Amino acid sequence: MAVQSKSDPASRIVPVPFTAVVIDDGFWAPRQRVNRERTIPFEYRQCKETGRIDAFRLDWRPGQEPVPHIFWDSDVAKWIEAASYSLATHDDPALDALLDEVIALIAAAQQPDGYLNVHFTVVEPGKRWTNLRDAHELYCAGHLIEAAVAHFQATGKRTLLDVLCRYADHIAETFGRGPGQKRGYPGHPEIELALVKLYRCTGERRYLALAQYFVDERGQSPHYFDQERLARGETISIFGPAFSRMYTHEYNQSHKPVREQDRPVGHAVRAMYLYSAMADLAGELGDAGLRAAGERLWQHLVERLMYVTGGIGTSRQNEGFTADYDLPNATAYCETCAAIGLVFWAHRLLQLDCDRRYADVMERALYNGVISGVSLEGERFFYVNPLASNGSHRRQAWFDCACCPPNLARLLASLGQYVYSQGDDEAVVHLYVQGEARLRLAGQSVTLRQETRYPWDGQVRLTVRLEEPARFTLKLRVPGWCREATLAIGGKAVPMELERGYARISREWRDGDAVTLDLAMPIERVYAHPRVSADAGRVALQRGPIVYCLEQVDNGPDLEAIALPRDARLEATFEPELLGGVVTISGFGLRRVVEDFAGQLYRSAPARVMPVPIKAIPYCVWENRAPGEMAVWLTEG
């Protein structure tokens, strides 16, 4: 497994690859096992049964149902990526063979000129590259490239990688600023970050250059999507504003050149994939302009557009961003893929600048709005992750547009890469997850062993294993949620030297040296900025990185009628039998008497209130028991 390249002087650290990280904690390890044993096989069956895999046989004929959809290739690609990651850490000959079989199908579907897309080969063969805005050809290509890199790195087999290099070369011939080339770019960013991976994997700089072209051509004038639309002879839709608003240039972040963009707009997943590529390029090229644009976008996102769960994207309409501070709870879109995209982006920024701001958001998304996307048993998924529900929101086994399930699978199978980074003579711990990492530092193999019950407890013990004593720096993140942290080395308290939120320990390490970080983890009340109208007068509960919610199964119906008094005493309890073992929060709230309003929607007296016991569970595990209402933000008072 190749370590990611580190050609940029601005990029001081790189992730420790997931193949060098073992997770054996109580929170993520069970999720990874379920992902490996249930989710990945389940998603293969779904791809198979819905025709997504066999579509690569190219034997579809007009009139047949189902019609291979423009997104289908990407679903299979993400499954290959997830399965490859799984294979990289857990030997599985049957899965290996299955991957070879699927890959052979894909390879056979490649056209003589290198083109590779099922829909535009069999369904609309004359329409290749005529609708970059909507048709997802380059998006599918990007996911196939990511799959190819993953499969090569997991198995050393070049079949898919060679296929995708040919396709990428074909794309590089088709698009660009040269004569006869189309000056297009994808409506749905994705291929940009994939091309950076392909460059890192192959060392071929032309793939980096193509990524750079796609990113920088975006939003230039004259506008490619306008020209393309006119070339298609497409007229303005008669279907009114609801429809046409999806097709603003903001929707796909092509409203202006990326270097001029300063607030996230449009479809959230597209935005995250684009910004991730911008961060990649900023690092690879030492490009300060891209870095600065990314930083503006980041600040705007985390200060005005992000839910407390790390979910992003307010509106179902554009699957994306709306106005600043517009964060309604029940109608929050918060697509699982968007939260995953936020993890991708945060993780890239963190390598460029080891500041806990990025890791805090990455952690918030991972522990809340990402992992909420899959059920504990691994075969039901949320596409949308609202922060309140009237009980109608349920996980589903699959979706017509099935981007989220395999995105979760590939994230979980490669989760280890988010925990540690390493630089020249430094090891960095971003996340607290019990397990081990193998690094090369000071010319030797170093193993870091983490022991912790995080996220249920804030005590972390790190043991260093190495052959010879060596001098290097260990950096431990002190999470932004933590107000009181103490550090001890060999059992002796030491003062903390904080560098952008990381406790920095530079010393000579000997085998068996142990560091203890103790993060106070009381129950916190969280308040949103007063401009967040949806949360005005409301409070959320958080403990450590975990955001809580109330579910109907514990608290009865009409959760919106429950207020939490500002002085209510709350208690945290680990419940080993509940939802795989979680800390719950309990106390007393005040319930507004719904019956007072019988037959009235409005009245001139407030409802009477009565005290009721309440119990909150981690948001990420809601909708794993009896279906019902859910609420994160409670009225206070």
Q: Identify residues 399-428 at the interface with a second copy (CB under 8 A).
A: 401
Contact with a second copy (CB under 8 A): which of 138, 370, 388, 590? 388
Structure tokens at 597: 């309003």
For 216-241, what is the HEC assignment?
HHCCCCCCHHHHHHHHHCCCCCCCCH
Q: Which helix (H) or strand (E) holds 300?
A: helix 288-300
Query: Quick one: which segment of 199-207, 273-281, 436-444, 559-567 binds a second copy (CB under 8 A)?
Result: 559-567
Quick one: 154 or 547, whose CB is closer to a second copy?
A: 547
Is 560 an interacting residue with respect to a second copy (CB under 8 A)?
A: yes
Quick one: 170 or 592, whose CB is closer to a second copy?
A: 592
Is 70 an interacting residue with respect to a second copy (CB under 8 A)?
A: yes
Is 62 an interacting residue with respect to a second copy (CB under 8 A)?
A: no
Binding residues for a second copy restricted to 37-56, rule: CB under 8 A: none
CB of 612 to a second copy, least distance (A): 13
Beta strands in 286-412 (DSSP E): 388-389
Measured between alpha carbons, how far is 263 from 214 in angstroms, rounded to an integer?
A: 20
Measured between alpha carbons, how far is 18 from 33 in angstroms, rounded to an integer?
A: 15
Is 326 an interacting residue with respect to a second copy (CB under 8 A)?
A: yes
CB of 400 to a second copy, least distance (A): 8
Task: Answer left, alpha or beta for residue 417, where phi above 0 means left and psi between -120 and 50 means alpha.
Answer: alpha
Measured between alpha carbons, how far is 98 from 467 in angstroms, rounded to an integer?
A: 40
Binding residues for a second copy restricted to 244-263, rule: CB under 8 A: 246
Contact with a second copy (CB under 8 A): which of 59, 126, 238, 495? 238
Query: Quick one: which segment of 39-47, 146-154, 271-279, 535-543 binds a second copy (CB under 8 A)?
Result: 535-543
Quick one: 41 or 480, whose CB is closer to a second copy?
A: 480
Q: 234 an active-site residue?
A: no
Structure tokens at 521: 């983890």
Contact with a second copy (CB under 8 A): which of 241, 491, 495, 576? 241
Binding residues for a second copy restricted to 497-526, rule: CB under 8 A: 524-526
Measured between alpha carbons, how far is 602 from 608 in angstroms, rounded to an integer?
A: 14
Rounding to the nearest 10 degrees, give the CA dihedral for residues 348, 352, 358, 363. Answer: 50
Question: Catalytic residue among 146, 190, 217, 319, which?
Answer: 319
Specify the pairing of strand 426-429 against strand 470-477: parallel
CB of 331 to a second copy, least distance (A): 7
CB burial of 202-228 (b: ≥16 within 10 Å; e: otherwise) equals: bebeebbebbbbbbbbbbeeeebbeeb
CB of 525 to a second copy, least distance (A): 6
Binding residues for a second copy restricted to 202-231, rule: CB under 8 A: none
Contact with a second copy (CB under 8 A): which of 242, 492, 569, 577? 242
Question: CA 540, 546, 548 angle in degrees (round to 5)?
Answer: 40
Is 558 an interacting residue with respect to a second copy (CB under 8 A)?
A: yes
Is 565 an interacting residue with respect to a second copy (CB under 8 A)?
A: no
CB burial of 289-303 (b: ≥16 within 10 Å; e: otherwise) equals: ebbebbbebbebbbe
Is 105 an interacting residue with respect to a second copy (CB under 8 A)?
A: no
Query: Quick one: which segment of 145-153, 283-291, 446-454, 539-547 binds a second copy (CB under 8 A)?
Result: 539-547
Is 611 an interacting residue with respect to a second copy (CB under 8 A)?
A: no
Site track for a second copy across 174-203, x = CB under 8 A:
------------------------------
CB of 526 to a second copy, least distance (A): 5
CB of 239 to a second copy, least distance (A): 7
Give Dmax over CA atoms of the chain in angstroms.
77
Is 125 an interacting residue with respect to a second copy (CB under 8 A)?
A: no
Is 563 an interacting residue with respect to a second copy (CB under 8 A)?
A: yes
Structure tokens at 529: 């900025």
Quick one: 217 or 629, whose CB is closer to a second copy?
A: 629
Residue reference for tokens 């009235």: 600
Query: Quick one: which segment of 67-75, 373-381, 435-443, 502-510 binds a second copy (CB under 8 A)?
Result: 67-75
Is 306 an interacting residue with respect to a second copy (CB under 8 A)?
A: yes
Structure tokens at 4: 């990611």
Contact with a second copy (CB under 8 A): which of 104, 230, 323, 610? 323
CB burial of 255-269 (b: ≥16 within 10 Å; e: otherwise) equals: bbebbebeebbbbbb
Contact with a second copy (CB under 8 A): which of 112, 178, 240, 576? 240
Query: Quick one: which segment of 39-47, 402-410, 413-421, 528-536 binds a second copy (CB under 8 A)?
Result: 528-536
Specify the pairing of strand 562-564 against strand 582-592: antiparallel
Q: How many residues bind a second copy (CB under 8 A)?
A: 71
Contact with a second copy (CB under 8 A): which of 493, 498, 536, 610? 536
* 392 CB burial (10 A radius; 0-12, 13-18, 19+): exposed
Is 61 an interacting residue with respect to a second copy (CB under 8 A)?
A: no
How many alpha carbons fall within 13 Å on the CB side of residue 277? 32
CA 462 to chain centre: 27
Q: 403 an active-site residue?
A: yes
Specify the pairing of strand 459-466 against strand 444-452: antiparallel
Is 316 an interacting residue with respect to a second copy (CB under 8 A)?
A: yes
CA distances from 441 to 56, 305, 451, 508 (A): 45, 39, 21, 12
Query: What are the residue numbers of the active site?
Result: 319, 403
